């Protein structure tokens, strides 16, 4: 299990802007290949990338982050999501069920991952509670 203080107590991790939505699921804005080692040190077992390559100029390439994750023994899942669909959310929900935990999902700002979690998760909390949790973490869901 992680806590927000656990993340902020780690040297250099504040730049990652990790926001914990549940005990074993967190989101963040774009990460770089250099961040993967810190993510592994925090104990994450899976990284989910919800950004398509070339969404913005100069963003790190998926393959570079994936290679670093693989070197460190992490599970890495690339689920590129542009315009979010119900199918995207359902696929994300399946990833949440099957991937090793704890998980860190990232996109440009963290909002897209938060929305995917709110819609795709079938944990025991209500959708209203998931929306409230995402908002508590600073994500505007529309």
| Domain spanning 19-137: CATH 3.90.190.10 | yes
Question: Could you tell me if 65 and 34 are in contact, meaning their C-beta atoms sit under 8 angstroms apart?
Answer: no
User: How does residue 40 score in pLDDT terms, banded at 50, 70 and 90?
Assistant: very high
> Residue ranges of the domains in the chain?
19-137
The pLDDT value recorded for residue 16 is: 74
Question: Could you tell me if 135 and 48 are in contact, meaning their C-beta atoms sit under 8 angstroms apart?
Answer: no
Question: Could you tell me if 83 and 139 are in contact, meaning their C-beta atoms sit under 8 angstroms apart?
Answer: no
CA 106 vs CA 112, 124, 128: distances in Å: 8, 23, 22
The H or E element that residue 87 is part of is helix 86-98
Least confident of 2-11, 75-84, 106-115: 2-11
Question: Could you tell me if 81 and 88 are in contact, meaning their C-beta atoms sit under 8 angstroms apart?
Answer: yes
CB contact set of 80 (below 8 Å; sequence gap of 6+): 49, 50, 51, 52, 53, 62
Least confident of 38-47, 64-73, 127-136: 127-136
User: How does residue 10 score in pLDDT terms, banded at 50, 70 and 90?
Assistant: very low
């Amino acid at each position: 299990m992680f806590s927000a203080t656990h993340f902020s107590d780690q040297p250099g991790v504040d730049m990652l802007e990790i926001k914990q939505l549940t005990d074993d699921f967190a989101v963040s804005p774009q990460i770089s290949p250099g961040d993967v080692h810190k993510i592994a040190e925090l104990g994450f077992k899976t990284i989910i990338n919800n950004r398509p390559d070339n969404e913005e100029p100069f963003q790190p390439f998926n393959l570079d982050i994936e290679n670093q994750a693989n070197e460190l023994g992490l599970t890495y899942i690339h689920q590129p999501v542009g315009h979010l669909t119900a199918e995207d959310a359902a696929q994300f929900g399946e990833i949440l069920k099957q991937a090793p935990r704890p998980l860190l999902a990232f996109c440009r700002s963290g909002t897209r991952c938060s929305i995917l979690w709110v819609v795709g998760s079938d944990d025991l909390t209500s959708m209203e509670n998931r929306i409230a949790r995402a908002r508590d973490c600073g994500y505007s869901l529309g």
